Structure 1
Amino acid sequence: MTPQFYFNPPQKWKDSIEHFHTLPNEQVYCLPDAVVQGKRWGAGSNNYLVHQVQQVQGITASVVSIQVHEFSVVTISSATSCCLLQYTLAGQSFARLSGYGMLPLFYNTYSLLYLANGTHQLLLAPGTHHYLYVIPGALLPFFSQNNGTTNQMLERFSNFHTDSFLAAHLPVSVAVKGVLLNLLHPNGNSATVAHRLRSMVNDLIYQFHKQTISSDLPVQSDELRAALAVLAATHLRLPVPQLIHRLCAAFYLQPATLRQHWLRYSGSSPKNSFRQMRLYMALYLLVVEKLSVTYTAHNLGFVHTTHFSAQFIKQYGINPSAATKLVAQ
């Protein structure tokens, strides 16, 4: 079974890569009847990448789990173009899609996108990251239901467009999470679950349409946290006070209520969390997009480059002009 795209460790560690074909003992998410391809690298081989792939009736489900102990750039090689659903199950990272640009991949959010063939990049912070990719195959036309951006995506796919495209970036709702749990934590015979993959993908498509046409604000705490993450990712270029104001206005929250809610789920205040996220994004812009320090500061709404540099040094202990030293590439 050949995946439509491959994740590759940083070139820095190309001479230390070891291949394996069994799931690590600590693996949390498991696809039934999946083919496992894994790679370890680094000093002591303590970094790893596990790619589980399951294909049923032209539909592909893939779980990618990556553990790194340093900031790392992983490349994604796509031999053919495809449309897919991408779910971030754990971790926070920034992807650079060829022909499109930056896509924040934050926990409890998901995207519908067209991934052009070619090479893409993923900046990962130290920790463990889990992603689920679903390529719907023959079910792809069911995404077309009077949705402008979705139809643009399908048109690009039909015309073999060379640029990637984001059709939607959404929070993982309680209903979506339920479908994902059924897929990744199956009860009973794994073969039965494999044959249910088509039904589960139909459920995910239905939930996608339900979310894109609904104007209701999230009620449950988990859904609110996910919705806040999507909006924060979209507006990370705003200075922190403006970003907090934007979130409060969008969800009719008082700043104290936002702070209380955010503390409960992240253990950090919105101010500190967003400051760290923006500096993480700065690292992406400096290393992956290769922007200058001045342009990066301007991109993130800093009036003075010196103020940006001071915050970057406080966060990472290094001048932003030397940011590449922080990242394994």
Structure 2
Amino acid sequence: MIFSFSATPDFDFLTHFARHVGTAVHHDLLIMPEHLGKGYIRKLAFGSDFKITLHHYTLREDLIIKRNSSGLGNELITIFFYSNEQSLSIAFNDNPLVLFSQRDDSAVQVTSNDLSSTIHFPAHHDIHYVVVAISPAYLTALLAMTNANSVIQTITGSSNSFLFFESMTAETKLLLKHIAAVDMNGSLSHFYMQIKVQELLYLLFHQLTSRENTMHQSINSADAERLLHIRSEIISDLSVPPVLSELARIAAMSETKLKQLFKQTFGDTIYNYYQQVRMQEAAFLLKQGNRSVAEVGYELGFTNLSHFSRLFEKYYGLNPKRYSSQY
């Protein structure tokens, strides 16, 4: 099933999706028709400039959501929290879908509404994600920051095109579970949810404030697509370090532009990002318990196991042997 829409500030996802699947919305709640699957989509509005949509369902067929550019510039900020056991596929500019989540089962995407995107959710898997839509002016007032860094200034400014990805912390994942479990029949549930959504934004923007102050490079859908493709190339074989010149050739960008846009979007340099994902993969493999520390190190391209151990301890606070013994 494909659902396509234009991301204008006045667009109501719930109403139009209900029409698309041939069902009704009652009290801002859509129950999935039985022939499509089970679950729900719920909308909560905390004012005309601040809304949240909660998706919780399992479908009988794949769902592809295509968000088309509004063409209006940054009149709305969309923050997408995805936490699933199934990997997430994202594409920009109508190109083939690129796998975003590998071993990590989560992603946070912050984007202006002038970028087109396509997200693919597989059939027969539990889908849990939250979308926050907020205007730049409302977010500025909510954050009430006096010395915002360049990332926050870009997000809250006008006419900026941007795409930022952040990792999802354990605290954010737990908060999302609590939000999904709230009984909305309670007399103070709406008020409680508003507080929790603001807490969710706090956790995200606390991460974003730690990014370096750099000049923002404008981004378009083609750039975004190339960056996701480069990320896919980086993590496709974690035993081989990335080669900047080769990645720049694949991206059809200069090395300087690629380095700038990658760090801006993902919050770290290409090599540091590679090492981080490499250590996440090492942790995943060690948790499985069917490989020795040496086997994991060699599989990820380390010829010096002492170096592997030191690097792993830098990320996780324990050496690989002690880490694996905990699982």
TM (normalized to structure 2)? 0.51
Alignment partner, residue 122 of structure 1: 119
SS of equivalent to 2:187: helix
SS of equivalent to 1:86: strand
| Cα shift at 1:207 | 1.4
Out of 89, 92, 95, the residue aligned to residue 94 of structure 1 is 89
Alignment partner, residue 242 of structure 1: 238
Alignment partner, residue 150 of structure 2: 148
Distance in structure 1 (CA, Å) of the matches to 2:93 and 2:15: 15
Distance in structure 2 (CA, Å) of the matches to 1:171 and 1:249: 15
Letter in 2 for 1:96: A
Distance 1:76 1:60, change over 3 A: same
| Cα shift at 1:72 | 4.6
Distance 1:103 1:149, change over 3 A: farther
SS of equivalent to 1:53: strand
> Relative contact order (C-alpha < 8 Å, sep 6+): which is higher?
1
Map 1:39-188 → 2, pairs under 5 A: 40=33, 45-47=35-37, 50-58=40-48, 59-65=50-56, 67-76=58-67, 81-90=75-84, 91-97=86-92, 106=101, 107-116=105-114, 120-128=117-125, 129-137=127-135, 139-141=138-140, 142=143, 146-155=148-157, 158-159=158-159, 165-167=162-164, 169-186=165-182
Map 1:199-278 → 2, pairs under 5 A: 199-214=195-210, 235-238=231-234, 240-242=236-238, 249-250=275-276, 253=279, 257-261=283-287
Distance in structure 1 (CA, Å) of the matches to 2:289 and 2:60: 26
Q: Deviations over 1:64-88 (max 9, x none)?
A: 2453444453334677852022111
SS of equivalent to 1:190: coil
| Cα shift at 1:253 | 4.2
Q: Which has the higher strand share?
A: 1
Alignment partner, residue 4 of structure 1: 12
| Cα shift at 1:7 | 9.2
| Alignment check: 8 A CA contact 2:14 2:43 kept | no
| Cα shift at 1:140 | 0.9
| Cα shift at 1:132 | 0.3
Correspondence 1:37 to 2:30: yes
Distance 1:177 1:243, change over 3 A: same
| Alignment check: 8 A CA contact 1:48 1:66 kept | yes
| Alignment check: 8 A CA contact 1:60 1:134 kept | yes
| Cα shift at 1:149 | 3.1
| Alignment check: 8 A CA contact 1:5 1:76 kept | no
Distance in structure 1 (CA, Å) of the matches to 2:151 and 2:96: 17
Identity value in percent: 10
| Cα shift at 1:173 | 1.4
Distance in structure 2 (CA, Å) of the matches to 1:147 and 1:260: 38
| Alignment check: 8 A CA contact 1:7 1:75 kept | no
Structure 1 unaligned blocks of 5 or more: 23-33, 216-231, 271-329
Aligned residues: 223
Distance in structure 1 (CA, Å) of the matches to 2:194 and 2:148: 23
| Cα shift at 1:189 | 6.2
| Alignment check: 8 A CA contact 1:139 1:202 kept | no
| Alignment check: 8 A CA contact 2:80 2:130 kept | yes
Distance 1:7 1:39, change over 3 A: farther
TM (normalized to structure 1)? 0.51
| Alignment check: 8 A CA contact 1:87 1:131 kept | yes
Distance in structure 1 (CA, Å) of the matches to 2:240 and 2:56: 31
| Alignment check: 8 A CA contact 2:112 2:163 kept | yes
What is the alpha-carbon root mean square deviation over aligned residues? 4.6
Letter in 1 for 2:106: N
Distance 1:45 1:213, change over 3 A: same
SS of equivalent to 2:171: helix
